[in-house]
Amino acid sequence: MALLHIAEPGQSSAPHQHKLAAGIDLGTTNSLVATVRSGQVETLPDEADRHLLPSVVYYGKTAVLVGNPALEYSLTDPHNTVVSVKRMMGRGLADMQNNQQFHSYRFAQNDSAVPRIITQAGEVSAIEVSAQILATLKQRAVATLGGELDGVVITVPAYFDDAQRQATKDAAKLAGLNVLRLLNEPTAAAVAYGLDAGNDGVIAVYDLGGGTFDISILRLNKGVFEVLATGGDSALGGDDFDQAIGNWILAEAGLDKLATHAANPVLIRSVLQHARRAKESLAQQPQTDINIEIEGLHWQGCLTRERMQALILPLVKNTLLACRRVMRDAKITNDDINEVIMVGGSTRTLLVREKVGEFFACEPLTSIDPDRVVATGAALQADVLVGNKPDDSLLLLDVIPLSLGIETMGGLAEKIIHRNTVIPVAKAQDFTTYKDGQTAMAIHVVQGERELVDDCRSLARFELRGIPPQVAGAARIRVTFQVDADGLLIVSAKERNSGVEASVDVKPSYGLTDNEIETMLKASMDYARDDMLQRSLREQQVDARRTLEALDAALAKDGDELLSAAEKDSIMQARQYLLDNIDNNDAESIKAAIKQLESDCEAYVARRMNSNIRHVMQGHSINEYSENKE
């Protein structure tokens, strides 16, 4: 007799069926996919039992190769082999053309906002290249688990901006993946270590990969992972170590630096590959021999660990500067930190471990393979989000790395969501019109810590139209910022009296430049005093112009009727005095001029008020209002 499966309407007939989920670490140098099976996290290998997938794609005339097969072409055919694609995600064409790391590529010169690389298989974007890597990892997971994935969690650097996160989601969609969440890499590492250790406290996650660096401070408390502060550089990683070593090799060989060899991509790739091998070798031994035999370069030499450390020390120090800023943001000291987690293959470099240990005054944790720890955390989170652990108490609280706001009058940046705010989050603020009869408002969304829009990064622009004509200041326009769990932003504006609204899904066409990422936070602190003085000046200038416009409108309406010639002359003199001072770079003088004008207008303002009251009361008596009140 067959057994019937009975379920409530809308519910699964197999309530205990395990859903297939995976965590993906989409890395600069290598990528990895992991899953939870029988309560344990496993990284999934390919048919040759290799767990790490090189993040390399070769575009041949007849086939596209991904991973180890593509890696073989990186030296012999660099024009058609894309490496370190993660560093291209969300970036503009100018940024890539100015970066020596991308000199081996030929970029299409067209009007596309997304840079496209010319290959023999056609033009491809960074999104499409990343999609090939993700699709390969998906196939590996499907083949191992025996079924289609219900969802994945993909990790991204904490310092990826909105454009870079959106590009990652677009790549996943192109690969046919259902993204449950984008998870910051340091947070994923904390999940992996936090669940294993089971101890509450403050953790620093130092994540140095092939192309990006993140430092995050997290507090673990009863299953809640809260990011207190985050920082870093999305254009600093092991690739930069390789370039420093590569430049040394060329100098020893009597040649110019890598940047001058753009026309010889084979030379660049070969030198960088030898530099990487030397770096990895020096993590195990005190010195290593280098022998390069390619067209244009024949050199043999020895690189010692001490020499390599001297070459990369400035880069390591840059990461420690970011650590210092983040600790200041989190308002903590070394005494507050319980553990320091090392994440990313570049943390195998002994100098990195030594300097990080000295900086935090403790021995960093390296018990989980730094190449696998991020994928491990992502797999654990995917297992929860897909529904395999409905009673799991794990909660992740990420933060946004840079403040978000809009431009206001005078070119000021009004912050609506401040940096290090926990996400997901929605915040709103009311604004109003500047001029009488204003029926539209241009909304400029910006990102950054400075007080002036010119010093921040523009994210998007849109317009709110259909505002009913009203006097200046009467309209109530609510601007709402919503940042989802993936760190993606939606901005909406609504005029509350009429109900008209508009919104924009912020998808900028390019990411932050290398220089912007490194300097935005530092500049906000270095120029904090100057910024506040500039903000005060702009606010006074806006206030002055608003006062002048209101005065001119009033005088045009009833100035001749309510003012004597002498009174009007006095007011006009005060008006001219304010007009003469408005463009001076002195907020106090503008403020004094506004007060002087207001003082000279007191009698006029009182007469206007009395005149308006008489107009309203005409034909009525006080008794009428008293009776209505009763």
Active-site residue set: 25, 86, 185, 207
Beta carbons of 159 and 233 less than 8 angstroms apart: yes
Residue closest to 555 by CA, chosen among 537, 539, 573, 568: 568
The per-residue b/e assignment along 285-295, b for 16 or more CB within 10 angstroms, e otherwise, is: eeebebebeee
Q: Which helix (H) or strand (E) holds 593?
A: helix 587-600
Residue closest to 214 by CA, chosen among 99, 346, 102, 380: 346
Residue closest to 208 by CA, chosen among 312, 65, 374, 346: 346
Helix 602-617 / helix 587-600 crossing angle, nearest 10 deg: 50
In whole angstroms, how far apart are CA 103 and each of 41, 131, 269, 555? 39, 22, 10, 65
The C-alpha atoms of residue 180 and residue 174 are separated, in whole angstroms, by 15
Tokens matching residue 450: 């400075």
The three-class DSSP label of residue 319 is: helix
The C-alpha atoms of residue 542 and residue 531 are separated, in whole angstroms, by 16
3-state class percentages of the chain: helix first, strand second, coil last, to nearest 5: 45, 25, 30
The C-alpha atoms of residue 477 and residue 405 are separated, in whole angstroms, by 15
Helix 587-600 / helix 565-581 crossing angle, nearest 10 deg: 170
User: CB neighbours of 106 closer than 8 A, spacing ≥ 6?
Assistant: 79, 117, 118
Burial class (CB in 10 A: 0-12, 13-18, 19+), 162: buried
The C-alpha atoms of residue 227 and residue 224 are separated, in whole angstroms, by 10
The C-alpha atoms of residue 392 and residue 224 are separated, in whole angstroms, by 11
The C-alpha atoms of residue 53 and residue 58 are separated, in whole angstroms, by 14
Tokens matching residue 127: 């999104």
The C-alpha atoms of residue 219 and residue 397 are separated, in whole angstroms, by 10
Beta strand ranges found along 488-555 (DSSP E) = 489-495, 501-505
For the chain, what is the radius of gyration of the CA atoms? 31
Beta strand ranges found along 353-500 (DSSP E) = 395-399, 404-408, 412-417, 422-423, 425-431, 440-447, 457-465, 477-483, 489-495
Residue closest to 440 by CA, chosen among 408, 410, 479, 466: 466
Beta carbons of 46 and 65 less than 8 angstroms apart: no
Query: To which residue do tokens 């001119």 refer?
Result: 552
Q: Which helix (H) or strand (E) holds 555?
A: helix 528-562
Beta carbons of 236 and 213 less than 8 angstroms apart: yes
